[in-house]
Every structure is written in C-alpha cells, then in structure tokens.
Amino acid sequence: MAGLLTGALAGLLAAAVALGVAQFMAGITGAGGEPVIAVGSAAIDLTPVPVKDFAIQHFGTHDKLVLLSGIVVVLAVFAAVTGVMATRRRTYGLAGLAVFAAIGAAAVLTRPVARPVDIAPTLVGVAAGALALMLLVGRTALGRTALGRTVPGRTATAPERGEAPVAQPATQTVARPGRRGFLLAAAGTAAVAAAGAGFGELLLRRFNVSSARAKLALPAPAISGPATPAAAQLPVPGISSFVTPNASFYRVDTALVLPQVSPDQWRLRVHGMVARELDITFEELLKRPLTEADITISCVSNQVGGPYVGNARWLGASLAALLREAGVRRGADQILSTSADGWTCGTPVETVLDGRNALLAVGMNGQPLPIAHGFPARMLVPGLYGYASATKWVVDLEITTFAAQRSYWAQRGYAVRGRIKTESRIDVPRPLQQVKAGRTAVAGVAWAPHRGIDRVEVRADNGAWHDAKLAAVPGLDTWRQWVWPWDATPGLHQLEVRATDGTGATQSSRRVPIFPNGATGWDSTTVTVT
C-alpha cells in the first residue's frame, strides 16, 4: 500500500509540474495555450445538446466551474495511475504522459483561433512533467528496503600458509535514497509546479484589459434613450428591477476564460456578400453616431420562469447603418458574426435592417461593457435570443447565407432564426413561500422584445384569469413589470401567469423544452397561506 501511495504521489506531482510549467509558457507565448482550458473548451464543443441544457439548468452560471473541476479530477486520477505504473516500468509512465500530451495538443490545435505557438506550453509542460516523474520514481524504494539491497558477489580470502587463495561468497550493499530523498525530491517538484503556475499567472495578467476598460471614457450618445418612466419600477419588494445591474446580469457563453481584447488592438472586419469591405478600429467605432437604447435580452437556455433574461440601457453604433455602408448584396440573408475566441452566431439580415435598434454596443448601463459581457464591443439585436444575435467580443461580420454557413449553435440543431418567445415570470411570492392570509401582491415581469407586452393575466388554483396591473415602459424592446392583488385564503395554492404581446398573441400553455428554439409554458408557483 505504501508503494502505491508513493507512486500515486509521484504521478500527481509530475502532473502539477506539467501544468505549472505549461502555465508559465502560456504566459510567455500569450494566452491561448493552457492545456486544461483547451481541453475544457473542446469538451464544451463536443458536449451533446441535452447534456449542455442539463448543466445550465442545474448548475447555472457555475457550469464552467463544474466542468473544470471534473477535468481536474479526471486528470488527477490519470496522473496517479500513471505514477503507479511508472514505478513498475518507467516506459509506462512516459506512455501515460505521451497520452496527456496528445490530448492537450489536439485540444489546443482544434481551437478556432489556435496559433502554431499555442502548442508550446503543452509540449514544454509535459517534458518538464516527464523529468519530474523520472526523478521521483528514481527515488522510490518500492519492493526494497530503505537502507539498500544485497547483491551477491565473490571475494578472495587470505590463504593459510602454503595454500592457494580461495574465493568466498560476499555481499555488497547498494545505497538507496530512502524516504528522505523522495520527500526532498517531492518538495522540489512541488516548488517548481507552484513557481511555474504563479509566475505564469503574473505573466498572463499583462493581457488583462481591466485597466484599459477603467480608463475608457464613453462619448455622449448622438441619440439619447427616452427617459425611464418613474412608473416603470413597481413598489413591490422582491420584484426584478426594471434595469438589471451589470453585476447581476446573467452570463451564458462557451468561454472558459474571458477573452481579453484590448481596445487598441480591436478591429471589426465586415466582408462577404458586400459591395465594399470595411475594417473598423475601436477609435473609429466610437466616432460613429452612438444610440442609447433600453433592450431586454434572453438566452435560449432559459427555462420557463428562469433567470437567464435581463434588461439594460445599452450604448452602441447602428448595425444597420454599418451594413448599408458596406452594401449588402442581393441574396444575402445571414450575418455570421465571430467573437475573439472563435464562437460564431448567425443573425437574419432582415431583422437588422427592419428599423429596430440593432447595435454594435460599447456601453451597458452608463459604463463601458464589462469584460464578461463583451468588452470592448458586442452585438445586440432586439427580439432575438442571444445565440442568434448577441455576439460578445465581436471581431468579424461576414455577410453570407444560412444555406452556405451554419453558426455554432445552428450546427448543433438549434433553429437558425431564434425569435424570443412571449414569456412571463412570477417573482413574488417565491416558490414554497409562506404568506399571510389577506391581500397579497403577486408580481413579476413579462417580455416579448420588439413586440411589447399588452396584457398579463394571473390565476389561482386553475380559477378565472385576472388582469394584472402593468408598469410603464419606455419602449417595445424591454420587459414589463406587473402586479396582481390577490386575496389569499389559508391553505396550499398554485398561482399561474400568462402574457399577451403587442401582436395579440398569448403565450402558449404547452410546456416544451428549450431545444430547438426556446421553452414555452406558463410559469407557476406554489405557496402556503397561513
């Protein structure tokens, strides 16, 4: 058992050295070559849609942490087994490291924005891990005593007078490093691993754009957003704020590590089926007329009554004006946008050109875009789910057709034209909450961006529907708060809500999953009245 533990520890320390040195090399060569991140990103790409939906539903914004934790656990088990095998035959350990190198290198090279140099951290890290493993295995004493081993041999004894020398059996003690030597080697490799990871993190910080964001002063909008009516926020404790704070705004994307795009280096290329290609710097983008607009966006992964929806005041340049400047050629029906990390999104051209406030956004709630929400620039198209309209860290717009190219989620079976469905949510009372009998506020939000909300109805225990009071809104593109005064009686009750949008369409009662074009159904909550 002691031998197994020693071998496992040797494997774990060797893996730590490999990762630490890889981190250091990634800091030298530039972000993008960390093997664990690359493997995690590849895992996200290969994850079946039902598994992805399950992860988002059950882990929410912690889904990436769960994925990385799982990868680290698998890696630790693999490293421990590799170390045990190396104590039996060193070639087994080297073979295990070669497998690790192959998986890491393949994951790195298959990333959409991979460069040849990005493979260097994996290769150098694995080489360092191999040296560490051989050093540690050489200082184990598995199957031998810590003091040494006996080797048979022959020696000559002094003969009696007149006799010939006689060869006698002899022993020779070969010293082994013992436990102390192994512990010293283990401490040294652990120090190398920690130093590599620490210095690598320091080097990677030079790519962080937080300071550049903090220094950025956004220009005043050429077209200011309408004043938010005071009555947009209902005085109901627990209801979602009309404006979602940046820190509370939902985040759903495929980026394990936030892309760090410097405004000085950002460029947007507009090409494809256009009369003239455009290449715009961030400075040039800020000089364009900027529009301020209140827009609610939602993720297609949002379950009925889910949290992946929010409303903010955005600042950005007109996307329609940009397309008209480029001159969209006849037959083009898709804007294939690409983010700095290679993720792609397909947006219908007609939705951008039909007069809605489609933006290349640079600001959110009066501040430069948070890094997690696309700094320095992202797309926003009211009325479409994020996977079909809201590319963060956008760097490329290709005007093409849906028949010619498929975006990231379209390749995985999602509808190519992702219109946000009319939805409503009960915020208060919360599920399973106990409330006192008497007049009780049932309240929440409803949304149908670019169509607006004209009516919200609530009912208790499958009874008659009652019209809720609607808050004021500055336009059609935002969600709308609502409240219904309920005369609650003691007992267990179920509350349901449904909304009707500006076209007269009432949301469906039929529950369907989010795949392939968004969930439907009435949100409900069960409460106990005392």
Task: State the residue range of the domain holding 136.
Answer: 2-147+178-207
Indicate the range of 85-94, 135-144, 315-324, 461-470 predicted with least confidence: 135-144
Pick the more confident residue, 255 or 480. 480
Q: What is the pLDDT of residues 176-191, one digit of tens each?
A: 556 788 888 999 999 9
Whether residue 419 has pLDDT greater than 60: yes
> If you average pLDDT over residues 425-445, what whole number do you get?
96
Residues 499 and 431 in one domain: yes
Indicate the range of 24-28, 37-41, 198-202, 433-437 predicted with least confidence: 37-41
DSSP assignment string, 209-227: -HHHHHH--PPPPSBPPPP
> If you average pLDDT over residues 457-463, what whole number do you get?
97
Under a CB-based contact definition with an 8 Å cutoff, are residues 397 and 269 in contact?
A: yes
Domain termination site, one of 412, 444, 467: 412
% of residues, the chain, pLDDT over 70: 92
Q: Is 270 left (phi over 0), alpha (psi -120 to 50) or beta?
A: beta
Indicate the range of 132-146, 244-258, 301-315, 371-385 predicted with least confidence: 132-146
Beta-carbon contacts of residue 337 (< 8 Å; ≥ 6 apart): 344, 345, 346, 347, 379, 391, 394, 396, 397, 398
> If you average pLDDT over residues 32-59, what whole number do you get?
79
Residues 255 and 387 in one domain: yes
Whether residue 175 has pLDDT greater than 70: no
CB-hemisphere CA count at 13 Å for 437?
Answer: 5
> If you average pLDDT over residues 504-513, what whole number do you get?
95
> If you average pLDDT over residues 415-432, what whole number do you get?
96
Report the CATH number that the domain containing residue 521 is assigned in CATH.
Answer: 2.60.40.650
Residues 184 and 247 in one domain: no
Domain termination site, one of 357, 377, 412: 412
pLDDT of residue 32: 64
Indicate the range of 19-23, 108-112, 363-367, 457-461 predicted with least confidence: 108-112
221: in domain: no
Task: Give kind and range of the element (H or E) at residue 495.
Answer: strand 491-501
Residues 240 and 368 in one domain: yes
Whether residue 95 has pLDDT greater than 70: yes
519: in domain: yes
Query: Residue 289, Cβ neighbours under 10 Å: how many?
Result: 11
Residues 254 and 378 in one domain: yes
pLDDT of residue 400: 98
Structure tokens at 132: 């560490």
Report the side by side order of strands in the sheet with 491-501: 434-435, 523-529, 491-501, 453-460, 466-467
pLDDT of residue 33: 65
Would you say how long the chain is, in residues?
530
Model confidence band, residue 145 (pLDDT cutoffs 50, 70, 90): very low
Q: Is 383 left (phi over 0), alpha (psi -120 to 50) or beta?
A: left
How many structural domains is the chain composed of? 3
Residues 339 and 465 in one domain: no
> If you average pLDDT over residues 15-23, what whole number do you get?
92
374: in domain: yes
Angle among Cα 250, 454, 233 to the nearest 5 degrees reads 50
222, 285, 290, 452, 472 from 225: Cα distances, Å: 10, 19, 11, 17, 15
Q: How far apart are CA 381 and CA 279, in angstroms?
A: 21
pTM of the entire structure?
0.83
Whether residue 156 has pLDDT greater than 50: no
Computed over every residue of the chain, the mean pLDDT equals 90
Whether residue 429 has pLDDT greater than 70: yes
Query: Residue 474, Cβ neighbours under 10 Å: how many?
Result: 16
Q: What is the pLDDT of residues 259-297, one digit of tens each?
A: 999 999 999 999 999 999 999 999 999 999 999 999 999
Whether residue 383 has pLDDT greater than 60: yes
* Short-list 296, 287, 291, CA closest to 386: 296
Whether residue 370 has pLDDT greater than 50: yes
> If you average pLDDT over residues 212-238, what whole number do you get?
96
Report the CATH number that the domain containing residue 341 is assigned in CATH.
Answer: 3.90.420.10
Query: Residue 403, Cβ neighbours under 10 Å: how many?
Result: 10
Model confidence band, residue 495 (pLDDT cutoffs 50, 70, 90): very high
Q: How far apart are CA 477 and CA 356, in angstroms?
A: 9
pLDDT of residue 421: 97
Whether residue 27 has pLDDT greater than 50: yes
> If you average pLDDT over residues 418-423, what whole number do you get?
97
Whether residue 58 has pLDDT greater than 90: no
Residues 240 and 380 in one domain: yes
> If you average pLDDT over residues 57-77, what whole number do you get?
82
pLDDT of residue 520: 96
Residues 343 and 490 in one domain: no
256, 370, 401 from 259: Cα distances, Å: 9, 12, 27
* Short-list 415, 397, 185, 447, CA closest to 285: 397
Amino acid at position 1, single letter:
M
Indicate the range of 93-97, 168-172, 225-229, 340-344 predicted with least confidence: 168-172
105: in domain: yes
% of residues, the chain, pLDDT over 90: 72
Residues 461 and 364 in one domain: no
82: in domain: yes
Residues 383 and 342 in one domain: yes
Model confidence band, residue 140 (pLDDT cutoffs 50, 70, 90): confident
In angstroms and rounded to an integer, the radius of gyration of the C-alpha atoms of the chain is 31
Whether residue 104 has pLDDT greater than 80: yes
Residues 89 and 187 in one domain: yes
Pick the more confident residue, 442 or 164. 442
Residue 412, helix vs strand vs coil: helix
450: in domain: yes
349, 421, 467, 470 from 503: Cα distances, Å: 22, 12, 18, 17
358: in domain: yes
Residues 362 and 453 in one domain: no
Structure tokens at 86: 């190396």
156: in domain: no
pLDDT of residue 117: 87
Amino acid at position 461, single letter:
D
Q: How far apart are CA 270 and CA 223, in angstroms?
A: 24
Domain termination site, one of 380, 412, 444: 412
* Short-list 4, 12, 17, CA closest to 140: 4
The segment with the largest mean pLDDT, out of 39-48, 146-155, 383-392, is: 383-392
pLDDT of residue 149: 44
Whether residue 1 has pLDDT greater than 80: no
Under a CB-based contact definition with an 8 Å cutoff, are residues 268 and 280 in contact?
A: yes
CB-hemisphere CA count at 13 Å for 348?
Answer: 13
